[in-house]
Amino acid sequence: MLLHPEEQMKIIQKGAESIVDEKELMIKLEKSFKEQRPLTIKLGLDPSAPDIHIGHAVVLRKIKQMQDLGHHAVILIGDFTGRIGDPTGKAKGRTALSDEQVKENAITYTDQIFRVLDQEKTTVRFNSEWLSNMTFEEVIRLAASTSVARILERDDFQKRYHNQTPIGLHEFFYPLMQAQDSVELKADIELGGTDQTFNILMGRTLQKHVGMEKQIAIFMPLLEGLDGVEKMSKSLGNYIGVQEPAEVMFKKVMEVPDQLIIKYFELTTDVHPDDVQNIKNRLDHGENPRDIKLELAGHITALYHGKEGMNAGKHYFETAFQQRDIPDVIPEILVDLEKDLLADVIPQLIEARFVKSKSELVRLIRQNGVSLNQQKITAEELDRVVMNDDVLKIGKKRFVKFVK
């Protein structure tokens, strides 16, 4: 049932930033193939995480691909630290959660995760199961597996130490807990973003320390958001949520900057690496990125909403946005932005043949046929100040855009 190791390796490598280390992974894949025994793939998640977007889903997608190859996922909810909160009381939002809250968060969370993962091939575990039972003596033994200098190597700790920003001694335990989780789960592979490098490698160290085969670390790159610059994040508004409606999702993918098309194919779809290579070739040969982005939007929307959702998204996009998105069919009207009212610019609208007269415009408004930035307007709104990039629309095809 498992694919040949070389074939698996090709799929696993797609989009990965780095794998530590590939040779060891190959040995694990070969052994697993020979024994037809699935590998255990670990992903640790913080139960306080918010709604999942397709940036978060990069690691989940990779795991899904490995599930499709026959392997088994363990989602490790880090509830132990959640229950403790921030013992210094300094970190806001790290107040201790009750058992019920943790369970509740976990349910909301796994609901979203199973929009990506194969529930049949996934186990959900909570690390309080073993961490809360550890004695001081066991903690001491755990601590003895590493040195202070080693932990201080972690980028953020090093910066804080040198800037004299206090590091609570308890913080040194978080990488160790994550490592202990790998020991308990006998993880073969752990996935994470590149910001998790230190913590995941600590798992290898600890597994070796206790005489276990070392897990393979697969680091996935961080995904830039729709602005093409910043890491995808809800607070920056440059995200595509996995729970967003098909129409919104499709339209947002169409906003992905051209230079990120291939990266999105690699990190946010399950398209086979050979096919991604073909798409790259097509782009390199001058094919319109817009057409390829339509395929990308189709793939992504289908992943979360099925074929039907994908079609709905595409139809909506083509009818409501496609024309507006072609700049040369939108006449631009120069106005005194943030001073002119809509009523003031009617002469220009007539001149641009957008409407024949003021009375025609008022009539169309009353017939509910005019919208400003996709919102129908009433006649009172003619007294509204015109802003940059405001788009006025009549019917389905007549557009005009105000600029300075």
Torsion over CA: 111, 52, 243, 98 (sign): positive
* Segment 150-156 long-range contacts (CB within 8 Å, at least 24 positions apart): 151/175, 153/198, 154/198, 155/198
Among 176, 191, 335, 361, binds a copy of itself (CB under 8 A): 176
Contact stretch for a copy of itself (CB under 8 A) within 57-65, 103-111, 157-165, 196-204: 157-165
CB of 184 to a copy of itself, least distance (A): 13
Longest dimension (CA), the chain: 86
Which residue type, as a one-letter code, is found at position 170?
Answer: H
Paired sense of beta strands 72-77 and 40-45, if any:
parallel
Among 167, 330, 337, 364, binds a copy of itself (CB under 8 A): 167
Applying CB under 8 A, among 18, 146, 233, 311 the residue interacting with a copy of itself is 146
Question: How many Å apart are CA 295 and CA 371, to the nearest integer?
Answer: 30
When asked if residue 83 is in the footprint of a copy of itself (CB under 8 A), the reply is: yes
Give the shortest CB-145-to-a copy of itself separation in angstroms.
8
Judge contact between 189 and 31, C-beta under 8 A: no
What are 125's two structure tokens? 């575990």
* DSSP at 320: I
Question: How many angstroms separate the CA atoms of 387 and 372, rounded?
Answer: 11
Indicate which single residue of 1, 23, 35, 140 sits in contact with a copy of itself (rule: CB under 8 A): 140
**What is the smallest separation between the CB atom of 33 and a copy of itself, expressed in angstroms?**
38
Residue 88 or 368 with smaller CB distance to a copy of itself: 88
The DSSP call for residue 188 is S
Residue 91 interacts with a copy of itself (CB under 8 A)?
no
Tokens 């091939």, residue located: 121
Candidates 3, 9, 84, 312; binder of a copy of itself (CB under 8 A) is 84
The residues, any chain, with a CB within 8 Å of residue 347's CB and separated by 6 or more, are none
Given candidates 95, 158, 159, 166, which one binds a copy of itself under the rule CB under 8 A? 166
With CB under 8 A as the contact rule, the residue among 147, 319, 368, 373 that binds a copy of itself is 147
Under the binding rule (CB under 8 A), the answer on residue 148 touching a copy of itself is yes
Contact 28, 34 (CB under 8 A): no
Query: By the criterion CB under 8 A, which residues form the site for a copy of itself?
Result: 80, 83-84, 86-88, 131-141, 143-149, 151-152, 157, 161, 164, 166-173, 176
